[in-house]
Structure 1
Amino acid sequence: MTDTAYADPQPEINLKDFIRGVPDFPKPGILFYDISTLIRHADAWQIATARMARAVAAFKPDVIAGIESRGFLTAAPLAQRLGCGFIMLRKPGKLPGKTISLQYGLEYGADELHIQEDAIIPGQRVVVLDDLLATGGTLAASIALLRKVGAEVVGASVLIELTGLKGREKIDTDLNALMSYDM
């Protein structure tokens, strides 16, 4: 891999200009940061993935793990760009074959993540990706699940971090956020 593979073609571009804020979604009082407006803009998406690839490459991962479902949108292209494998962390009933699960609590209830039993070779270096870090529950659970199956979680990366929700405090590995918003 050469440094030019991760060169930022337009370092002056502000990716926040391509993120749409949607008020009162999914419920009143929530401002939803919509990444679909970034992804559909080819140049901005290329720049975003180049910037994330540069940050994630520093972790020297063997495998990139994406959290269902929007985490797949960043994890898959980064894995391809970095020459890594890609694995999916999914909700119950979404993965074929035998899976290992982890239940975790959220501020509004409980949830569960699954990984295929044979997805990780113990000791593999893994970086976990998602679109957004808010309260940190899902990302922290993903890291715990990956460790449960023998992964060495060397980092995490997100497109957007909502800093006011303090999710970073729940993450016990290096974390890179491409953009952040104060709340």
Structure 2
Amino acid sequence: MVDLSKFIREIPDYPKPGILFRDITPMLADPEALAAAAKAMAEPYVGEKIDIVAAAEARGFIFAAPLAIQLGAGFVPIRKPGKLPFDLHSFAYELEYGTDELQIHVDGVKPGQRVLLIDDLLATGGTMEACCRLLERCDAEIVGCSFLIHLAQLGGEDRLNPYKCHSVLTYDQDDLENELSPSGRS
């Protein structure tokens, strides 16, 4: 068994003072660690008859495609405006300072399809909650949400109720004083 936590580099005061950045690039560069991460993220959903694995750009894509292959499912990207060329479903949502929007092709997820949502990190849960709302508009059945890293003290899992959440690595308040999403998104 690979200890994935050894492949997460901690960078203090990035992108601003007081933030501890959890850098996954050392894990991505190691084929054994990357394979172990994808396997661990997929494990609770093996045998769940997943039709589609969906992920919001960009780091979620890194894990979603290998998970889709492991689970015998398709992969559907959820993107920011201006990135998808076909007819779209859109969902606008509130951020701490402003709004954002996510989009999916109208034929990406069909009503009743069983969907697993993937992302590298669960922080405040805003982005993943928006993904859930977008897929609800598609009349998808959301089977769960799987993450490599969960920053538990930021409360993101609470925003995703009633959906099942799975995280491979969890960091809580005892691990550090102040954290934020590595990308500045939630």
TM-score by length of 1: 0.90
Read off the aligned partner of 1:32 and give its amino acid letter.
F
By how many angstroms is 1:28 displaced? 2.1
By how many angstroms is 1:66 displaced? 1.0
By how many angstroms is 1:83 displaced? 1.2
| Equivalence for 1:125 | 114
| Equivalence for 1:137 | 126
Deviation sequence 1:50-96 (CA, Å, 0-9, x none): 21221232543111001110000110111012110000000000011
For structure 1, which runs of at least 5 residues remain unmatched after alignment? Answer: 1-9
1:95 aligns with 2:84: yes
* RMSD across aligned positions (CA): 1.1
1:48 aligns with 2:43: no
Read off the aligned partner of 1:147 and give its amino acid letter.
E
Larger RCO, structure (CA 8 Å, separation 6 or more): 2
Deviation sequence 1:102-123 (CA, Å, 0-9, x none): 0111223211100011111100
Deviation sequence 1:142-161 (CA, Å, 0-9, x none): 00101101111110001000
Q: Which segment drifts farther, 143-152 or 106-115? A: 106-115
1:67 aligns with 2:56: yes
| Equivalence for 2:166 | 176
| Equivalence for 1:78 | 67
The 8 Å contact of residues 9 and 22 in structure 2, kept in 1 or not, is answered as: yes
By how many angstroms is 1:44 displaced? 0.9
* Partner SS state of residue 81, structure 2: coil
Deviation sequence 1:8-38 (CA, Å, 0-9, x none): xx2xx32110001122222222111111111
Size of the alignment, in residue pairs? 172
Read off the aligned partner of 1:178 and give its amino acid letter.
V
Read off the aligned partner of 1:71 and give its amino acid letter.
G
Over the matched positions of the two proteins, sequence identity in percent amounts to 48
| Equivalence for 1:104 | 93
Matches within 5 A, 1:158-173: 158-172=147-161, 173=163
* Partner SS state of residue 25, structure 1: coil
* Partner SS state of residue 42, structure 2: helix
* Partner SS state of residue 64, structure 2: helix
1:24 aligns with 2:13: yes
The 8 Å contact of residues 59 and 155 in structure 1, kept in 2 or not, is answered as: no
